[in-house]
Amino acid sequence: MGLKLYKSLSEESLIKACREQDQRAQRLLYERFAPVMYPLCLRYVKEVSEAEDVMITGFMKAFDKIDTFSGKGSLAGWLRKIMINQALGHLRKNKTMYLEVDLDSADYRLNISQSYDHLEAADMMKLVQALPLGYRTVFNLYAIEGYSHKEIGELLGISESTSKSQLSRARGLLQKQIMKDEESITPKVRKT
């Protein structure tokens, strides 16, 4: 098959070629999905080189397990799960995930201002990246990936209430940072 023919492969044909361990098809699958999977990995693993390693290892696992992809759901969704699990495994392996818990001070009722409405996605992701690791991980899993607190607890080996506490604290920190950023942008009006 010529290179142009590979680039025009349908997703179904690409999966079939990857199942046959066709390296050009694997490269094309990587090229198609890496631009989406890298930012996903970077949301969990803060260091650029580590996020790249997580993504590459995730793709290697995907190529090894491509036979398990049933075709139910999207290939992108299947790859997302692999990347998330790889990132969480990386965090566990490196023992860098310290989840702080103070259930008494957790506020589950959050007053979210209109501040979120004007934020650009890139700005919001910078704020999320600045969160402590445990908060960031739970926030990503819940707010971005759509996992329930029960699922997060199972993935991270924590209780549902710990997941809720981490999310509440993450939101609180984000809200404080947004308000702080707004105050620095909004001109101060002096009374005369």
| Structural domains of the chain ordered from first start | 9-93 (1.10.1740.10), 103-185 (1.10.10.10)
Q: What confidence score (pLDDT) does residue 183 get?
A: 73
Average pLDDT, the chain: 82
Classify residue 71 by its DSSP letter: S
Looking at the predicted structure, is the pLDDT value of residue 107 above 50?
no
Looking at the predicted structure, is the pLDDT value of residue 139 above 80?
yes
Three-state DSSP class for residue 7: helix
Q: Which amino acid is at 152?
A: I
Which of 68, 63, 3, 70 lies closest to 33, judged by CA?
63
How far, in Å, CA of 77 to CA of 108, rounded?
30
Digit-coded pLDDT (tens) for 140-175: 999 999 999 999 999 999 999 999 999 999 999 998
Higher pLDDT residue, 89 or 116? 89
Instruction: Give yes or no for a contact between 76 and 36, defined as CB atoms under 8 angstroms apart.
Output: yes
Looking at the predicted structure, is the pLDDT value of residue 62 above 90?
yes
How far, in Å, CA of 27 to CA of 22, rounded?
9
Looking at the predicted structure, is the pLDDT value of residue 35 above 50?
yes
Q: What confidence score (pLDDT) does residue 190 get?
A: 52
What is the token pair recorded at 145? 């990936």
Q: Which residues, 6+ apart, have CB-to-CB distance to 17 below 8 Å?
A: 6, 9, 24, 25
Looking at the predicted structure, is the pLDDT value of residue 20 above 90?
yes
